[in-house]
Structure 1
Amino acid sequence: MRTHGWSGSAPASDEEAVERILAAAGRAIDERGADLSIADVARTLGVTRQTVYRYFPSTEALLVEAAVHAAADFLDRLAEHVHGLTEPEEAVTEAIATALEWLPKDKHIGLLVTPGRADAHSESVTSDVALQFANAMVRRFDVDWTALGFSDDDLDELAEYLLRIIQSFVVDPGRPPRTGEALRGFLRRWVGAAVRR
């Protein structure tokens, strides 16, 4: 790792360099959403664009990694919100509805589940990352999936299904959009049916 740049305070390791880059990218996403460039991040850090490219091959790769970096906090908050919901129908309903309510305010996670990014290759990368995110979400519910007869493969498919539901609402919230208890009633009736055993 080169030691010049970094506004006079070089990172001690590549891991620290990546953390600083992700933190700078996170601040840029907070300010501008997906409309950031490697040059913006480099300027914030006092390094060249080439330095950032050494760790992230493209702006899209940096966006995805910054979103993943922020996903842990989102998952923690969501797990706390649905804590105590042990019925799968209620946990799934509340998790989807809450995620849909929080997404417009969370530019980072929106990058993981909003389809139609400019780069078709990155869209498949984002989709893989989004599936990992959805998988982590399902497995953090207080539902005893094993006792209910769900296998690991079932949970993988459920995570994909829930992600597809979330994405469909992101793309087209409906006319008029369902919110609050109307959204929860709709999800409980139709999505809840997928987890009733």
Structure 2
Amino acid sequence: MRTHGWSGSAPATDDEAVARILAAAGSAIDERGADVGIADVARTLGVTRQTVYRYFPSTDALLVAAAVHAADDFLDRLADHLHGITDPVGAVTEAIATALEWLPKDKHIGLLVAPGKADEHTASVTSDVALRFANAMIRRFDVDWAAAGFVDDELDELAEHLLRIIQSFVIDPGRPPRTGADLRNYLRRWVGGALT
């Protein structure tokens, strides 16, 4: 643990250092989206870039960690929004539609599931981090997946499928883009059909 820098208040542990770095990165993402670098975070914290690199080997690693750090809030809000929807088709339809509505406003989760820069982030939609996020999302639904006939492996595939659908809408929302009831009807018809 470094004893200098940190704007005069060094963290007591590595865990505290990581928490401060993630908080600074989160604030920077709120302000500028994915256009954040290690130098920006280091400057905010009053440390060198090497100090941040000690905990995060690259800007991408830091951005993904900051997004994961913010994911619980997104998942809690989504679970609250879906509270009481026990039908698998209804829950999946509303989850996808709501995620698509919220993603443009949530710069953090967009880093996990939406390509902010086509070359850098497109492949990350099926990364382990994104898949864990999607799995956590569907397991927070009020759906009794076992009673509906789904086993764990199928839920893993469903999580991947939801990410792929969300990504396709983010990349190309359609002409004109579907929104509101139109989007939900489309998803219920075509995505819901895969669940029944």
> Normalising by the residue count of structure 2, what TM-score does the alignment of the two structures yield?
0.95
**1:32/1:141 Cα in 2 relative to 1: closer, same or farther (>3 Å)?**
same
Distance 1:91 1:175 in 2: 26
TM-aligned CA distance change 1:169 to 1:119, over 3 Å: closer
8 Å CA contact 1:64–1:126 kept in 2: the answer is no
Is it true that 1:28 corresponds to 2:33 in the alignment? no
Distance 1:43 1:52 in 2: 10
Aligned to 1:74: 74
CA distance in 2, matches of 1:126, 1:166: 12
Letter in 2 for 1:185: N
CA deviation string 1:46-101 (max 9, x = no partner): 00000000000000100000011011100000000001000001000000000000
Amino acid at match of 1:39: A
2: CA distance between counterparts of 1:117 and 1:15? Answer: 33
Instruction: Please report how far the alpha carbon of residue 149 of structure 1 lies from its aligned counterpart in structure 2 after TM superposition.
Output: 1.1
Cα drift, residue 186 of structure 1: 0.2
| CA shift in 2, pair 1:126/1:34, >3 Å | farther
| Alignment partners' CA distance in 2, 1:25 and 1:108 | 10
Tell me whether 1:53 sits opposite 2:59 in the alignment: no
Q: 1:56-135 to 2 correspondence within 5 Å?
A: 56-115=56-115, 118-119=119-120, 123-124=123-124, 127-135=127-135
Deviations 1:148-186 (A, max 9, x none): 110000100000001100000010000000000000000
Q: Confirm whether residue 158 of structure 1 aligns to residue 158 of structure 2.
A: yes
Cα 1:124–1:177 change in 2 (3 A) is closer
What's the counterpart of residue 184 of structure 1? 184
User: Hey, what does 1:38 align to over in structure 2?
Assistant: 38
Task: Give, in angstroms, the shift of residue 7 of structure 1.
Answer: 0.4
1:7 pairs with 2:3: no
Measure how far apart 1:125 and its partner are: 8.6
- CA 1:117–1:21 in structure 2 vs 1: closer, same or farther (change >3 Å)? farther
**Unpaired runs of at least 5, structure 2:** none
Pair 1:78–1:125, CA change in 2 (3 A) = closer
Aligned to 2:169: 169
Alpha-carbon distance change, 26 to 162 in structure 1, aligned in 2, over 3 angstroms: same
Number of equivalent positions: 195
Give the unaligned 5+ runs of structure 1.
none
Report percent identity of matched pairs: 81
Instruction: Name the CA shift for 1:123/1:161 in 2 (closer, same or farther; >3 Å).
Output: closer
Give the residue type in structure 2 aligned to 1:135: N
> What is the identity, as a one-letter code, of the residue corresponding to 1:86?
T
Superposed displacement of residue 127, structure 1: 2.2
Contact 1:67 1:109 in 2 (8 A): yes
Match of 1:19 in 2: 19
